[in-house]
Structure 1
Amino acid sequence: MTALFNFQSLLLVILLIICTSAYAHSMAPGFMDRNQHGILGVFWKSARIGERLSPYISICCVFMAISIFIGG
């Protein structure tokens, strides 16, 4: 089953994109800021979400890790 049809997997993919984009933006801000539009703009927007909502994103990551651990 793909991540698009399983809601928990879709949330996990979205959280991983947000976390990875925020980390990549902290390492190479010039590259991310140049690509604010188009396909790569999704990663720029994800990085903004990860930077501005980092406490909530980290709490969501912990909850997802617990749910995956419990759910198997």
Structure 2
Amino acid sequence: MTNVYSFDGILVFGLLFICTCAYLKKVPRLNSWLLSEKKGVWGVFYKAAVIGTRLHIAVALCCLVLAFYVIFLK
């Protein structure tokens, strides 16, 4: 179990946040509600969704590497 206050916990949270926002971008009702703002606090969701969709291969590889680290090395 990772701790949010450790560096690997922050990485896990960040990757899960990016993956969740990229998934929510594919849902039409949530896309118009949650990801419509591009600035401000709500803009963080939009920017994470853009990172997740444009860099999907790099994000997927980071998820695999982090999963290997958490399961086997930690």
What TM-score, normalized to structure 1? Answer: 0.86
Unmatched 5+ stretches in structure 1: none
Partner residue, 1:9 = 9
Unmatched 5+ stretches in structure 2: none
What TM-score, normalized to structure 2? Answer: 0.84
Distance 1:53 1:31, change over 3 A: same
Partner residue, 2:26 = 26
State how many pairs are aligned: 71
CA shift at 1:2, angstroms? 5.1
Q: Give identity over the alignment, percent.
A: 31
Distance in 2, Cα, partners of 1:68 & 1:33: 30
